[in-house]
A and B are shown apart, each in its own frame.
Chain A
C-alpha cells in the first residue's frame, strides 16, 4: 500500500513526512517526526496524555487521523519552552510538585496551555474543567490545579 505525503507545521516549523493510511497523529509525531513528548496512554480518548494543540485547539493526537492535519499547525509540549527557559506553566508544575511519574504531564500542560491561551485568569472550577479529560494516577490533581492557578496568577519562580 502506498504512503501518503503529508505536510504540516510542527511547533512553528514546516515538516513533511510520508504516512501509512490510517496512521494516527500521535504515531506520526513520535515515530516519524521524533517528537516524543506526546505519550501513548489508552488509545481510546480516555486519558489525555496524547493531547496536542491543532490550530490552537486541544485535540487527542491518538484519535486524530494524521492526514487530516495537512496544512495545519500542531503544537506539542516539545515547543513549549523558549530556548533554555521553561514556559511559566512548566516552571509552575515544577514549583508545585505537579508531576510525579510524569506520564500525564505532557497532556496536562497542553490542556492547561489551551485554557490559559484563551482565558488568562481562570477560576479554580474552570481549571478543573479544563483538565477533566486528563487522567493523573499519582498526584490526586490538587498540585496540578494549584500549579495552573499559580501560572495564571504569575506566581512562578524565575
Chain B
C-alpha cells in the first residue's frame, strides 16, 4: 500500500505534522519504519521526514554531550570525543545498519534491539522532544516508560554527561552471533567513584523487560560501597529483581534470568 511521504525543512514543521496524524511515523534511518512498511504495517499511512541540520549535529567537546536524533552510529564511531559510546555503537548491526540507524530511532527499537538506549539509560540521558505544543526535555527513564505514546512526538536530540573515566562507564552485549546479532541481554553500568566509594550507581539492562530498565536492587547493593568482590557479588545476586524478561528465538526468559547476574558480575569486575 502506498503511503504519503511528507518532507519538511525544519524539525518543528515535522513535529507538527507528526502530532496531528495518528497514523504518521517519523522516518529516521529507516531501519524501523521501512521495515514496518516492508512487512505491510497498515497502521502507517504517512511517513514524515525533516531535512533539518540540527538533527544531525554532534556537540561532544565539553563535559555535556549532545547528539542530534539523526546522528548515525557510524558517525558516533567516527567521533574521537565520543569514545565512551563506541562500544554500544559498535555492538549494533553490521556496517550498513550503522550507516543508517540513528541515535533517536534506537530509543524506539524494541527487543532484541535498542542496545544504544541501554547505554543512554545507564548514563541518565535527557531526551529533547518536540510535540505539537513546543519542545521539552524528558529524563530517559520517563521517556521509555511511556514509549508507546511517544510516536506522536519528534525526538530532537539526546544528551548526557560524559563519564569521568573509562572505568566509570561499562557496557556489555551478549549475542549469539559475533560480531553481529540481536541481544540476548545487554548491560551498561555507570559507576562514579567518590572518595573510593560508588556514588550514583546506575545499572541498565536490555532484553530483561518490555523496555530497557534499571536494575535498581543491584544499584542499591553498589551505592556507597567500594567496588570489591563482596559488593559485586551482592549486586550480581540482585540483578534479576524487578525484571520481567520474555522468551524469544535468541533465548528464554529463564535463560536470561540465569545469566544476567553472571554477566553483571563480569562487567563490574572488569572481566572479558
Binding site for B on A (CB under 8 A): 1, 4, 20-24, 43-45, 48, 51, 57-60, 62-65, 67-68, 111, 114-115, 128-134
CB atoms of B95 and A130 under 8 A apart: yes
B20-64 Cβ-contact flags toward A at 8 Å (1 or 0): 000000010111001101110000000101000000000000000
CB atoms of B49 and A21 under 8 A apart: no
Q: Confirm or deny: B9 has a beta carbon within 8 angstroms of a beta carbon on chain A.
A: no
Stretch at the interface among B81-89, B96-104, B152-160, B216-224: B96-104
The 9 closest A-B pairs by CB, nearest first: A133-B94, A22-B3, A43-B38, A132-B180, A20-B2, A63-B34, A63-B30, A132-B94, A58-B96
Given A43-B38, A57-B99, A60-B100: A21 touches B2 (CB 8 Å cut-off) = yes
CB atoms of B49 and A133 under 8 A apart: no
15 of the cross-chain contacts (CB-CB < 8 Å) are A21-B3, A21-B5, A22-B3, A22-B37, A59-B99, A60-B100, A63-B38, A64-B100, A65-B30, A111-B95, A111-B96, A114-B95, A128-B179, A130-B95, A133-B96
CB atoms of B96 and A43 under 8 A apart: no
Given contacts A4-B5, A51-B96, A111-B94, 8 further A-B contacts (CB under 8 A): A20-B2, A22-B37, A45-B96, A59-B99, A63-B34, A63-B35, A65-B49, A130-B95
**Minimum C-beta distance from A139 to chain B (A):** 16
B61-84 Cβ-contact flags toward A at 8 Å (1 or 0): 000000000000010000000000
Chain B's interface: helix, strand, loop or mixed, by majority? mixed
Cα distance A57–B72 in the bound complex, in angstroms: 12
Chain A's interface: helix, strand, loop or mixed, by majority? mixed
Q: Confirm or deny: B93 has a beta carbon within 8 angstroms of a beta carbon on chain A.
A: yes
Contacts of A21 in B (CB 8 A): 2-5, 47
Binding site for A on B (CB under 8 A): 1-5, 7, 27, 29-31, 34-35, 37-39, 47, 49, 74, 93-97, 99-100, 179-180
CB atoms of B95 and A24 under 8 A apart: no
**Minimum C-beta distance from A142 to chain B (A):** 16
**Minimum C-beta distance from B18 to chain A (A):** 16
Cα distance A48–B31 in the bound complex, in angstroms: 12
CB atoms of B97 and A133 under 8 A apart: yes
Cα distance A59–B38 in the bound complex, in angstroms: 16
Cα distance A48–B38 in the bound complex, in angstroms: 15
CB atoms of A58 and B5 under 8 A apart: no
Cα distance A22–B72 in the bound complex, in angstroms: 21
Cα distance A51–B95 in the bound complex, in angstroms: 10
**Minimum C-beta distance from A125 to chain B (A):** 9
Most buried by B among A22, A62, A64, A130: A22
- Residue from A23, A43, A114 in contact with B39 in the complex, judged by beta carbons closer than 8 Å: A43
Given A22-B47, A111-B96, A129-B95: A64 touches B34 (CB 8 Å cut-off) = yes
Name B34's closest neighbour in chain A (CB-CB).
Answer: A63
**Minimum C-beta distance from B189 to chain A (A):** 25
Contacts of B35 in A (CB 8 A): 43-45, 63
Name A57's closest neighbour in chain B (CB-CB).
Answer: B99
CB atoms of B31 and A45 under 8 A apart: yes
Contacts of B39 in A (CB 8 A): 43-44
Cα distance A51–B31 in the bound complex, in angstroms: 13
Name B37's closest neighbour in chain A (CB-CB).
Answer: A22
Contacts of A48 in B (CB 8 A): 94, 96
CB atoms of B38 and A24 under 8 A apart: yes
Name B95's closest neighbour in chain A (CB-CB).
Answer: A58
Contacts of B93 in A (CB 8 A): 45, 133
**Minimum C-beta distance from B4 to chain A (A):** 5
**Minimum C-beta distance from A38 to chain B (A):** 12
Contacts of A57 in B (CB 8 A): 74, 99
